[in-house]
């Protein structure tokens, strides 16, 4: 008899907590919490077309630094070789930079040295988003 009374009280207490919103059934599951985190991210994105995940901005910054290093090396090689047009090879650029391995885009893009006078590019470029914070290019370098 006493055990059933305790069980009854426990059920009433949980029922009241749910009723007054102190605990939420959605909070009780990890899936529910994750779904709400995703919904919040989607909400931020919907509110601002310029919203970009932090990781994408960090990757773009590293990529742009790489592009500037590559472009500087490319210009130096072209100048030393008295080339005002045409191309500079990867081996010339890497030798100038003292590297054995080419620089890698952290987001998996691939680099093109392009013609002399045209900036080095990453295949990711502006990646179709409205924000420039995640762009992989050095247009005004
Ligand atoms: Zn890139």
Ligand 1 centroid distance, CA of 140 (Å): 16
Ligand 1 centroid distance, CA of 39 (Å): 28
How far is the C-alpha of 81 from the C-alpha of 87, rounded, in Å?
Answer: 11
Ligand 1 centroid distance, CA of 43 (Å): 27
Ligand 1 centroid distance, CA of 111 (Å): 7
As a whole number of Å, the end-to-end CA separation of the chain is 82
pLDDT digits (tens, 9 = 90+) for 105-126: 999 999 999 999 999 999 999 9
Ligand 1 centroid distance, CA of 14 (Å): 53
pLDDT for res 25: 67
Residue 127 CB contacts under 8 Å (≥ 6 apart), including other chains? 134, 135, 136
pLDDT digits (tens, 9 = 90+) for 25-65: 666 677 777 888 888 777 777 677 788 899 999 999 999 99
Ligand 1 centroid distance, CA of 65 (Å): 10
**Taking the complete model, does pTM exceed 0.85, yes or no?**
no
Residue 121 φ then ψ, to 5°: -125, 155
> Which bin fits 37, alpha (ψ -120 to 50), beta or left (φ > 0)?
alpha
> Which bin fits 109, alpha (ψ -120 to 50), beta or left (φ > 0)?
beta
Ligand 1 centroid distance, CA of 129 (Å): 14
DSSP-assigned letter for residue 51: -
Ligand 1 centroid distance, CA of 138 (Å): 11
Residue 139 CB contacts under 8 Å (≥ 6 apart), including other chains? 119
pLDDT for res 121: 97
């Amino acid at each position: 008899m006493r055990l059933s009374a305790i069980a009854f009280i426990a059920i009433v207490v949980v029922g009241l907590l749910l009723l007054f919103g102190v605990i939420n059934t959605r909070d009780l599951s990890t899936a529910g919490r994750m779904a709400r985190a995703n919904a919040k991210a989607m909400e931020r994105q919907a509110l601002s077309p310029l919203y970009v995940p932090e990781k994408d901005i960090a990757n773009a910054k590293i990529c742009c630094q790489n592009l500037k290093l590559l472009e500087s090396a490319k210009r130096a090689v072209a100048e030393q070789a008295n080339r005002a047009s045409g191309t500079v090879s990867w081996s010339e650029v890497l030798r100038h930079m003292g590297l054995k391995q080419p620089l890698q885009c952290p987001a998996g893009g691939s680099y093109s040295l392009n013609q002399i006078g045209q900036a080095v590019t990453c295949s990711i470029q502006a990646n179709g988003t409205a924000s420039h914070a995640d762009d992989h290019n050095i247009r005004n370098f």
